């Protein structure tokens, strides 16, 4: 094959493959795999005294790729830089130009927003040069983020604890979660009563109508009085209101809305949504999954229109163009949609891939369908002598339209509408209740964020980008600022009063309340870090900081402002604040440290704070002769509300409970929480036990349970050497020997039939093999 005259460079390898097919043999298409150059990884790498000039390097894992690109570029007559049109894409093109040493006369910059043949051919016919103002806007963004991140983080290391981090995006994400938690703590739940009833028209027993009282009642006495009043009155149908409703479909998915809907409808965490979508994209089933655009290509719209017309008829079709409303959207790609709208079932797809694909496909198709038409009937049911009015609503779908394909779900599933057979009711018709029930409810605290609802909020504030939503959520969890809640809630009692056959009865029921399972809850560390940052750096933590700075970036991109002047303006205010936060002293206590009192035994001060390994109790003062003593807080305990007694109990470990099978049983607190130790074995204590009150009996139960679990996972042992065990683990069977684990060679069907000699051979071979290279060397695909 002769060398193609043209080299096209795009960002994504999957994109490269598709485009190569459109362009034919004169074009070779390669991928840059995102950025090829960045600020140095380990050091600040911004020369503050030289106009904030950035010091770039090619990361080690990109060296091979850059060499390959360089060779291909040298051979080509023309190099087409086809990275995305957004700020980052423009910078990628510029870095490629610089690093590959391209010549202006043989370089073209092209952009397209859709991967269709027409769009690409059009782009090739309309090349331009690199937009240096836009590149500067990216450099400003990059440098600002490095300054904020690399100056704030060390302040946290010094003032609170090493390895912490802060940044323009992650710190605001944590702030959202912390402030929501504060709202929840300040919230006082108030009881009230809701009344609902079932009525039937006099003389028509088959026709039951469910109706709700529109007003809340304040307390039980009021509820009881209301039911008393209902006992003997004559109800009748009052006003009947019928009006049409139209519902329009939602736009096709962006990254953020896909993450939200996959979370609500499929229960996917955002990281799972992204990795499943990545595979769909790589296999050519969907368009690019990291996008902030709701735009669809003309070709996609026409394919979907054809499909809708053929399968459902013309009246279901309504071609629509959507416009983004989200802050800071850069719209370099299409919305997320199926590549071939007619494909419903994917060959070789996992169930997860198929589910996500179906969601994407239906949402995209529905976006080009007609409004749903609904008839909403509201019937009032009243009685003389009753102040309040019951209303029964009935939504009948007259024309389903887009609902045939897709119905969006909402965050609060409380609002489910129920259908009522209101047809046949006439004003003045006498009605009889069969049951009127007043139920005690409680005003709801604000909901904790889920991963997906946090993404939604971040997008609203313009914080983060489609490619960073999922990584940011995992960063703030890795840093220990935020955890996924595990609490299923506590039972809460509520009253119901029921009026039936002229008699009022009352009953107490329970529901689970206050669950935070799977939702984002701040840790002590998250709370204290946030308090620290908002106190010393209120401007950076401001919800509008990013939005304001984005306006500057836009002006830089338009050539109206010089990027390094803007950065200098920020730095002259920011940097002194960093110096101050680094050095300021506050009366002997560490930031966030709380005094609990004095140890009654020794008189030493007892306090709680964020220590080197997380929240700790400290007894004694660091200034005194004697070294202070430390004990970690347990899971579920908080710096915020731990008492002196609870804190002192933590020093009672390790505690000996007694003996079992001639060995001592002790309970202690370790790196991974409380555990029972017996016969050199460790058994974790589940969170529903209080380690300080654990009895010998309970400990023995835990030991026995652990033993049984261990037996289940042991596939076989060997008489020749009790130290060799064949175990069943998370990734399948493996060998454990001498505190090391060994994987089995491929293709072993029945591992339990392995002989001792075979097992020893696997161990010997694995030990003889050279240690894995630490750095991943960039592999070349041929």
Partner DNA sequence: CAGTGAGCGAGCTTCCGCTTGACTT
Q: Is 465 in the site for DNA (CB under 7 A)?
A: yes
Among 741, 755, 756, 764, which residue interacts with DNA (rule: CB under 7 A)? 741
Give CA–CA dist 245/400, Å, rounded.
Answer: 12
The answer to whether residue 464 forms part of the interface with DNA (CB under 7 A) is yes
By CB under 7 A, residue 734 contacts DNA: yes
Site string for DNA, 41-80 (x = CB under 7 A): xxxx------------------------------------
The answer to whether residue 612 forms part of the interface with DNA (CB under 7 A) is: yes
- Is position 142 an interface residue for DNA (rule: CB under 7 A)? yes
Question: Pick the catalytic residue: 288, 449, 469, 675?
Answer: 288
Q: How far is the CB of 303 from DNA (least distance, A)?
A: 23
- State the binding string over 269-288 for DNA (x if CB under 7 A, else -): ---------x---x-----x
Rounded to a whole number of angstroms, the minimum distance from the CB of residue 502 to DNA is 53
Site string (688-727) toward DNA, x via CB under 7 A = ---------------------xx--x-------------x
| Contact region with DNA (CB under 7 A), list: 87-95, 106-114, 124-132, 256-264 | 87-95
Distance CA 600, CA 618 (A): 14
Choose the binding region for DNA from 7-15, 179-187, 428-436, 557-565 (rule: CB under 7 A): 7-15
- Closer to DNA by CB, 156 or 209: give it: 156
Task: Show contacts with DNA in window 166-195 (CB under 7 A).
Answer: 166-171
Which one, of 564, 573, 566, 565, lies nearest residue 550 by Cα? 566
Taking the CA atoms of 575, 577, 578 and 583 in sequence, report the sign of the dihedral they define.
positive
Question: Using CA atoms, how far apart are residues 276 and 268, in angstroms rounded to an integer?
Answer: 10
| Contact predicate 372/246, CB 8 Å | yes
Q: Which of 64, 74, 163, 602 binds DNA (CB under 7 A)?
A: 163
Nearer to DNA, 84 or 353 (CB): 84
In the complex with DNA, which residue's Cβ is closer, 201 or 480?
480
Return the number of the residue (273 or 632) whose C-beta is nearest DNA.
632
Quote the DSSP letter at residue 430. E
Question: Residues in contact with DNA, total (CB under 7 A)?
Answer: 90
Closest C-alpha among 482, 483, 485, 484 to residue 526: 482
**Smallest distance, Å, CB 259 to DNA?**
14
- 517, 743, 753, 765: which one contacts DNA (CB under 7 A)? 743
DSSP for residue 158: H
- CB closer to DNA, 162 vs 446: 162
Stretch that binds DNA, among 220-228, 230-238, 311-319, 609-617 (CB under 7 A): 609-617
Cα pseudo-dihedral 530, 533, 536, 541, rounded to 10: -100
Is 246 an interacting residue with respect to DNA (CB under 7 A)?
Answer: no
Q: In the window 472-491, what residues touch DNA (CB under 7 A)?
A: 472, 475, 479
Query: Which residue from 8, 18, 30, 38 is in contact with DNA, where contact means CB under 7 A?
Result: 38
Of 42 and 750, nearer to DNA (C-beta) is 42
Spatial distance between the Cα atoms of 691 and 706, rounded to a whole number of angstroms: 17
Q: Would you say 303 and 322 are in contact if contact means Cβ atoms under 8 Å apart?
A: no
**Looking at 408-416, 421-429, 585-593, 734-742, which segment touches DNA (CB under 7 A)?**
734-742
Which region, left, alpha or beta, applies to residue 588 given φ > 0 means left and ψ of -120 to 50 means alpha?
left
C-alpha distances (whole Å) from 624 to each of 46, 177, 596, 628, 694 are: 43, 38, 18, 8, 35
Only segment of 66-74, 339-347, 501-509, 613-621 that touches DNA (CB under 7 A): 613-621
Give the residue carrying structure tokens 């027409």.
Answer: 118
| Interacting residue with DNA among 85, 88, 394, 440 (CB under 7 A) | 88
530 touches 175 (CB < 8 A): yes
Task: Give 357 or 402: the residue with its C-beta nearer to DNA.
Answer: 357
Evaluated on CA atoms 573, 575, 579, 582, the torsion sign reads positive
Residue 447: CB minimum distance to DNA, A? 24
Confirm or reject binding of residue 466 to DNA (CB under 7 A): yes
User: From the CB of 506, what's the least distance to DNA, in Å?
Assistant: 42
- Helix 524-536 vs helix 132-159: angle between axes, to the nearest 10 degrees? 120
Q: Does 450 bind DNA (CB under 7 A)?
A: no
Q: How far apart are CA 513 and CA 489, in angstroms?
A: 5
Residue of the chain from 22, 56, 150, 651 that contacts DNA (CB under 7 A): 150
Is residue 460 close enough to count as binding DNA by CB under 7 A? Answer: no
How far apart CA 58 and CA 356 sit, in angstroms, is: 36
Helix H segments across 508-544? Answer: 524-536, 538-541
In the complex, the smallest distance separating the C-beta of residue 692 from DNA, rounded to whole angstroms, is: 14
Is 734 labeled as catalytic in the residue annotation?
no
- CB closer to DNA, 383 vs 642: 642
Binder among 568, 600, 729, 756 for DNA (CB under 7 A): 729
State the nearest-atom distance from the C-beta of 616 to DNA, in Å: 4
Question: With CB under 7 A as the contact rule, which of the stretches 163-171, 205-213, 349-357, 579-587 interacts with DNA?
Answer: 163-171
Q: Please, what is the minimum distance in Å from the beta carbon of residue 593 to DNA? A: 12
Helix (H) or strand (E) holding 257: helix 255-266
Residue 84 is a binding residue for DNA (CB under 7 A): yes
Q: Which of 127, 149, 238, 518 binds DNA (CB under 7 A)?
A: 149
Q: How far is Cα 125 from Cα 107, in angstroms, rounded to an integer?
A: 14
Is 162 a binding residue for DNA by CB under 7 A? The answer is yes
CB of 231 to DNA, least distance (A): 54
CB of 479 to DNA, least distance (A): 7
Q: Which stretch binds DNA (CB under 7 A): 31-39, 376-384, 559-567, 692-700?
A: 31-39
User: Where in 631-690 is the site for DNA (CB under 7 A)?
Assistant: 631-632, 669-675, 682-684
CB hemisphere CA count around 44 (13 angstroms): 13
**Pairing status of strand 6-10 against strand 27-31:** parallel
Task: From residue 167, give the alpha-carbon distance in Å to each of 142, 145, 147.
Answer: 12, 7, 9
Question: In this chain, which stretch among 21-29, 115-123, 318-326, 461-469 interacts with DNA, using CB under 7 A?
Answer: 461-469
**Rounded least distance, CB 316 to DNA, Å:** 34
Q: Which is nearer to DNA, 449 or 675 (CB)?
A: 675
Q: Alpha carbon of 647 to those of 212, 604, 631, 651: distances in Å? A: 51, 13, 8, 8
- Min separation Cβ 644 and DNA, Å: 18
Run of H or E residues at 712:
helix 696-713
Distances (CA, A) of 465 to 134, 451, 456, 458, 732: 17, 15, 11, 9, 37
Query: Within 13 Å of residue 140, how many CA atoms lie on the same side as its CB?
Result: 29
15 binds DNA, rule: CB under 7 A? yes
38 to each of 53, 54, 62, 134, 463, how far by Cα in Å?
13, 9, 11, 17, 21
**What's the CA gap between 261 and 273, in Å, rounded?**
10
Interface with DNA, residue 730, by CB under 7 A: yes
Q: Are strands 107-109 and 78-81 parallel, antiparallel or unpaired?
A: parallel
- 585, 616 in Cβ contact below 8 A? no
- Site residues for DNA, window 318-357 (CB under 7 A)? 330
Q: How many angstroms from the chain centroid is the CA of residue 235?
A: 50
Check residue 605 for interaction with DNA (CB under 7 A): no
Active-site residues, by number, are 288
């Amino acid at each position: 094959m002769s060398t193609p005259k043209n080299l096209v460079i795009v960002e994504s390898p999957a994109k490269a493959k598709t485009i190569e097919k459109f362009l034919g043999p004169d074009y070779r298409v390669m991928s840059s795999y995102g950025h090829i150059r960045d600020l140095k990884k380990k050091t600040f790498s911004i020369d503050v005294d030289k106009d904030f000039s950035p010091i770039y390097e090619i990361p080690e894992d990109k060296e091979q790729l850059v060499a390959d690109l360089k060779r291909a570029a040298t051979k080509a007559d023309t190099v087409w830089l086809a990275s995305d049109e957004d700020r980052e894409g423009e910078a990628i093109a510029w870095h490629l130009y610089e690093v590959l040493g391209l010549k202006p006369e043989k370089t073209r910059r092209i952009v397209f927003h859709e991967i269709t043949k027409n769009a690409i051919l059009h782009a090739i016919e309309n090349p331009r040069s690199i937009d240096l103002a836009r590149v500067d806007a990216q450099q400003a963004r990059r440098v600002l983020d490095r300054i904020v991140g690399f100056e704030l983080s060390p302040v946290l290391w010094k003032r609170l604890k090493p390895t912490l981090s802060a940044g323009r995006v992650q710190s605001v994400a944590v702030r959202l979660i912390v402030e929501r938690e504060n709202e929840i703590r300040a919230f006082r739940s108030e009881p009230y009563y809701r009344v609902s009833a079932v009525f039937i028209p006099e003389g028509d027993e088959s026709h039951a109508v469910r109706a709700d009282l529109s007003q809340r009642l304040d307390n039980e006495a009021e509820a009881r009085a209301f039911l008393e009043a209902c006992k003997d009155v004559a109800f009748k149908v009052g006003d009947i209101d019928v009006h049409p409703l139209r519902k329009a479909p939602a736009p096709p998915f962006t990254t953020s809305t896909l993450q939200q809907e996959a979370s609500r409808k499929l229960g996917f965490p955002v990281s799972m949504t992204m990795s499943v979508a990545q595979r769909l994209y790589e296999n050519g089933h969907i368009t690019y999954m990291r996008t902030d655009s709701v735009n669809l290509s003309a070709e996609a719209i026409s394919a979907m229109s054809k499909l809708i017309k053929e399968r459902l008829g013309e009246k279901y079709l309504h071609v629509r163009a959507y416009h983004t409303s989200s802050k800071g959207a850069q719209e370099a790609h299409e919305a997320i949609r199926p590549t071939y709208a007619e494909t419903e079932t994917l060959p070789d797809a996992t169930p997860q891939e198929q589910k996500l694909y179906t969601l994407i496909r239906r949402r995209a198709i529905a976006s080009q369908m007609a409004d749903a038409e609904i008839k909403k009937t509201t019937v009032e049911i009243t009685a003389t002598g009753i102040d309040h009015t019951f209303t029964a609503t009935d939504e009948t779908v007259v024309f389903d339209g887009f609902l045939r394909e897709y119905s969006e779900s909402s965050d609060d599933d409380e609002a489910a509408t129920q259908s009522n057979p209101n047809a046949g009711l006439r004003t003045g018709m006498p009605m009889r209740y069969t049951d009127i029930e007043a139920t005690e409810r409680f005003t709801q605290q604000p909901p904790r964020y889920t991963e997906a609802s946090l993404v939604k909020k971040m997008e609203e504030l313009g914080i983060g980008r489609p490619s960073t939503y999922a990584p940011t959520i995992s960063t703030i969890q890795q840093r220990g600022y935020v955890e996924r809640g595990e609490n299923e809630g506590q039972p809460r009692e509520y009253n119901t009063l029921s009026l039936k056959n002229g008699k009022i009865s009352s009953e107490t029921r329970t529901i689970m309340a206050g669950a935070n399972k799977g939702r984002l809850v701040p840790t002590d560390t998250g709370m204290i870090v946030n308090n620290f940052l908002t106190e010393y750096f209120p401007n950076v933590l401001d919800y509008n900081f990013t939005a304001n700075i984005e306006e500057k970036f836009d002006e830089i991109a338009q050539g109206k402002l010089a990027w390094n002047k803007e950065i200098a303006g920020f730095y002259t205010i920011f940097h002194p604040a960093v110096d101050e936060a680094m050095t300021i002293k506050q009366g002997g206590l560490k930031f966030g440290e709380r005094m609990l009192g004095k140890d009654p035994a020794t008189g030493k001060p007892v306090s709680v704070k964020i220590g080197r390994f997380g929240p700790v109790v400290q007894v004694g003062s660091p200034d005194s002769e004697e070294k202070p003593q430390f004990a970690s807080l347990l899971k579920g305990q908080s710096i915020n509300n731990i008492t002196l007694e609870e804190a002192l109990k933590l020093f009672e470990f390790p505690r000996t409970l007694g003996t079992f099978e001639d060995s001592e049983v002790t309970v202690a607190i370790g790196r991974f929480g409380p555990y029972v130790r017996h016969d050199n074995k460790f058994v974790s204590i589940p969170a529903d036990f209080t380690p300080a009150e654990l009895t010998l009996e309970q400990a023995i139960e835990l030991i026995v349970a652990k033993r049984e679990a261990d037996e289940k996972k042991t596939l076989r042992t060997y008489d020749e050497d009790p130290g060799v065990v064949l175990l069943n683990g998370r990734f399948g069977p493996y060998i454990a020997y001498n505190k090391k684990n060994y994987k089995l060679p491929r293709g072993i069907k029945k591992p339990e039939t392995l002989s001792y000699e075979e097992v020893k051979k696997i161990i010997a071979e694995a030990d003889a093999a050279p240690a894995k290279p630490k750095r991943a060397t960039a592999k070349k695909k041929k």
